[in-house]
């Protein structure tokens, strides 16, 4: 397989990239061409320095695009290190992009290329947030030693998800009895309170105002307030606009007495709802606004024939109480032997 190195996104056509992604082992919004372009523009909301360098590899066979390794490199302590684009904090799922029948040849060819042909000698690679069901880690462990790399793979984060049933009652029947009762009780109380409503933000004219309202809810949490720097606000706004324009955005609000009490930022992608971030006004805790809105969102997902409700990274207890089953994303460390 012929490997090409790209230092700019413009060297690969968006249509080619996204078409290949749609056929790939790991097809997630965080690997879409548009998402990664916006991520790169803001360097993950300031997570990485501006002098980081794109190091995208593409694999070709007979003039046909067979694989993409979305990578970048940085100098750290005098050494050249490579990471997956999207690493580490705000892109929950990452991977090499290739069909299952091409993944083995593409990863082997990419490792060989990185070992011999880059203009700056690479000392290590850190490949994070690869789903544990991907072929990538197995293939890295198989081929990396052949090209002088040591490999260590470990689980990095829990990524619990709910496999959705055919209807709401079947979903409830599949979770813990105590939790089932609690969900019903909180939703019933919300339904009986005329001041409790919820909606999706789907008007392009008010989207920026809704984004600001989302940020206002996020910063009420101390940790999220620290996370939401000015750079991260720019990054998140760009991602939300991209998702809206691409048709993947699901930004929902729960209002109480006309006040926004809870918000979930999700992606609606390939039959999955992916829960990306959230914000709550703790003045309304007596209504359990986060739980109520989550219940509405799960109902909506079931009614619209979604197959998974994915909480993505994090092992917070409430995710399992809603019936999520555990999955993981991994961290692969490759170093020159």
Asked if the model's pLDDT at residue 118 lies above 70, the reply is no
| Rounded average pLDDT over 245-253 | 98
pLDDT tens sequence across 205-241 = 999 999 999 999 999 999 999 999 999 999 999 999 9
Q: Is the pLDDT of residue 290 over 70?
A: yes
Confidence of residue 190 (pLDDT cuts 50, 70, 90): confident
Q: Is residue 105 located within the same domain as residue 85?
A: yes
At 30 the three-state DSSP class reads helix
Residues 136 and 173 in one domain: no
How far, in Å, CA of 330 to CA of 52, rounded? 23
Domain presence at residue 142: yes
Mark whether 99 and 173 lie in a shared domain. no
Check residue 121 and give its pLDDT.
79
Structure tokens at 145: 């030693």
- 248 vs 53: CA distance, rounded Å: 28
Domain total of the chain? 2
For range 125-132, the mean pLDDT: 97
CA angle 221, 225, 227 (to 5 degrees): 120
pLDDT at 256 over 80: yes
Per-position b or e across 218-244, b if 16+ CB within 10 A of its CB: beeeeebeebbeeebbebbbbbbbbbb
Q: Are residues 44 and 85 in the same domain?
A: yes
Judge whether 98 and 106 are in contact, CB under 8 Å.
Answer: yes
Task: In whole angstroms, give the CA distance from residue 274 to residue 309.
Answer: 6
What does the pLDDT read at residue 116?
Answer: 82
pLDDT band of residue 196 (cuts 50, 70, 90) is: very high
Q: What local confidence, expressed as pLDDT, does residue 119 receive?
A: 56
In a domain, 324, yes or no: no
pTM for the whole thing? Answer: 0.96
Q: What pLDDT score does 8 carry?
A: 96
Residue 321: inside a domain, yes or no? no
Do 194 and 262 lie in one domain? The reply is yes
CATH of the domain at 23: 3.40.630.30
Q: Distance between CA atoms of 4 and 67, rounded to whole angstroms?
A: 10
Beta strands per DSSP E along the chain: 2-6, 53-54, 56-61, 64-69, 71-76, 79-84, 97-98, 122-131, 149-158, 161-163, 196-200, 249-256, 259-269, 272-280, 308-310, 328-336
- Domain residue limits at 16: 2-157+329-336
């Amino acid at each position: 397989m012929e490997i090409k190195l790209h230092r700019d996104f413009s060297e690969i056509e968006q249509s080619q990239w996204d078409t290949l992604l749609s056929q790939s082992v790991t097809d997630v919004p965080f690997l879409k061409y548009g998402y990664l372009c916006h991520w790169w523009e803001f360097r993950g909301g300031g997570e990485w320095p501006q002098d980081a360098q794109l190091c995208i590899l593409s694999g070709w066979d007979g003039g046909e695009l067979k694989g993409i390794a979305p990578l970048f490199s940085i100098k750290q302590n005098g050494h050249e290190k490579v990471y997956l684009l999207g690493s580490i904090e705000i892109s929950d799922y990452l991977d090499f992009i290739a069909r299952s029948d091409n993944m083995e040849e593409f990863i082997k060819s990419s490792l060989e290329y990185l070992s011999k042909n880059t203009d700056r000698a690479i000392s290590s690679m850190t490949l994070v947030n690869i789903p544990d069901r991907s072929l990538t880690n197995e293939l890295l462990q198989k081929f990396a030693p052949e090209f002088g790399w040591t490999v260590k793979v470990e689980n990095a984060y829990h990524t619990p998800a709910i496999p959705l049933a055919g209807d709401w009652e079947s979903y409830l029947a599949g979770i813990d009895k105590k939790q089932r009762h609690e969900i019903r009780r909180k939703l019933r109380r919300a339904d009986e309170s005329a001041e409790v409503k919820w909606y999706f933000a789907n008007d392009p004219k008010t989207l920026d105002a809704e984004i600001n309202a989302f940020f206002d809810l996020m910063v009420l949490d101390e940790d999220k307030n620290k996370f939401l720097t000015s750079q991260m606000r720019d990054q998140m706004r760009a991602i939300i606009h991209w998702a809206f324009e691409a048709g993947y955005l699901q930004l929902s609000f729960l209002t109480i007495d006309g006040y926004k009490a809870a918000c979930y930022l999700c992606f609606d992608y390939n039959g999955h709802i992916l829960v990306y971030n959230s914000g709550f006004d703790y003045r309304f805790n007596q209504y359990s606004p986060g739980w109520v809105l989550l219940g509405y969102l799960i109902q909506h997902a079931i009614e619209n024939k979604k197959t998974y409700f994915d909480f993505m990274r994090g092992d917070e207890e409430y995710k399992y109480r809603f019936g999520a089953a555990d999955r993981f994303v991994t961290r692969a460390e490759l170093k020159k032997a």
